[in-house]
Amino acid sequence: MIKDYLEIGSVVGTHGVKGEMRINPWCDSFEFFKKFRTLYLDEKGDSCLKVRTSRKHGNVFLVSVNDIDTVEKAQALRGKTLYIRRSETELPEGHYFIAELIGCKVVDADDDSVCYGTLTQVSQTGANDVWHVTNDKGEYLIPAIPDVLIDTRVQDNLVLIRPLKGIFDNED
């Protein structure tokens, strides 16, 4: 499902005494993260933070925002999830955010009466992503490769696959 606001990371602590926050990123790169000048504190966009500066620091990002200028104010945001607005970014055609894929119904591309389950998780392995499809009989790991993924219709909450032989054989 296409979402208006997507999780991009969480506040895990502070840095220094001037309100800089340590962000654990949930995105692929700092280059992607630094494009956003506004971060949101909820998935409805009701409360936002205007980014003044951001920089990479080891495996976290250090971010300073307007109106947060003390360590105490920054510490009050610790544990908060940060969101971005989807309309403030563009993805190439046929690419989706993982958060939008989660919850999609996974159906056979050749027989839409065969539902394999629901996409519940995506593991990023390096070579290719692996999709976790869960149904009442268990969890199945599907390689996210072109031979398997036939069509992704996030707007319809649907993914069509042609599974590799043997993945769902114990479904009987």
5-88 under CATH 3.10.129.10, yes or no:
no
CATH number of 98-171: 2.30.30.240
What value does the mean pLDDT take over residues 83-109? Answer: 89
What value does the mean pLDDT take over residues 133-144? Answer: 95
In the chain, where the domains are located? 5-88, 98-171
Instruction: Encode pLDDT of 26-58 as tens digits.
Output: 887 899 999 999 999 999 999 999 999 999 999
What value does the mean pLDDT take over residues 61-76? Answer: 96
What value does the mean pLDDT take over residues 10-29? Answer: 93
Is 114 in contact with 154 (CB distance < 8 Å)?
Answer: no
**Which residue pairs, CB below 8 angstroms and at least 24 apart, start in 109-113?**
109/150, 109/151, 109/160, 109/161, 109/162, 110/162, 112/160
Q: Does 150 have pLDDT greater than 90?
A: yes
**115-124/129-135 β-pairing:** antiparallel
| Residue 20 vs residue 95, higher pLDDT | 20
